[in-house]
Amino acid sequence: MEHIGYRKFLKKVQQRVVPELGELLPNFPVGTKNLYDFLGNGLLVIVVSTRCVPCQDALAVLSDYYQMHSVNTVMLVDTQEDNMPLFYEAFAAYAEVFHMETENWKKHFAGVPWATALDRNGVILQSAPFRSLPTLMPVLDFIVDREMIRHDE
């Protein structure tokens, strides 16, 4: 695969067809379930990849955030299957963690750490790429304000 600069990559990524705020995020398969099976009062969908440099920063941000807050989260990881045990170990206490297996997810989110806040019906309340806590905060603010707590609490 040809290496392209991060700015050029973001420009390419911004041309993807992704649902807008106020629209439904598709009810994609997640493991043996569908995304909407996890909605509860709302849902934070995190998409990360081991194939992108910004995702490494994003994982550290998420780890710090989860130490302070417990929110209903599905994390989709684009990585080699062999790497998944590391993600389960690091994040399973805080999120439902899944290997990103379907092309549907990849064409929407591939290569960029992405956070999407959904309401209880799957409507997108906030959605943004993130690399640091300040860039993640607009999405997290929706979650805290709407009290999207984990199912098991």
Residue type, 87: F
Taking the C-alpha atoms of residue 69 and residue 62, their distance in angstroms, rounded to an integer, is 10
Residue 137's CATH number? 3.40.30.10
Q: At 66, is the secondary structure helix, strand, or coil?
A: helix
The whole-model pTM stands at 0.78
Query: Low-confidence residues of the chain, pLDDT below 70?
Result: 1-18, 102-112, 142-153
Write the single-letter amino acid at 75: M
Q: Which structural domain range is residue 151 located in?
A: 44-153
The DSSP symbol for 123 reads B
Q: How many domains is the chain built from? A: 1
The per-residue pLDDT for 106 is: 65
Instruction: Using alpha carbons, list the distances in angstroms from residue 115 to 3, 7, 29, 82.
Output: 25, 19, 18, 24
What pLDDT was estimated at residue 10? 55
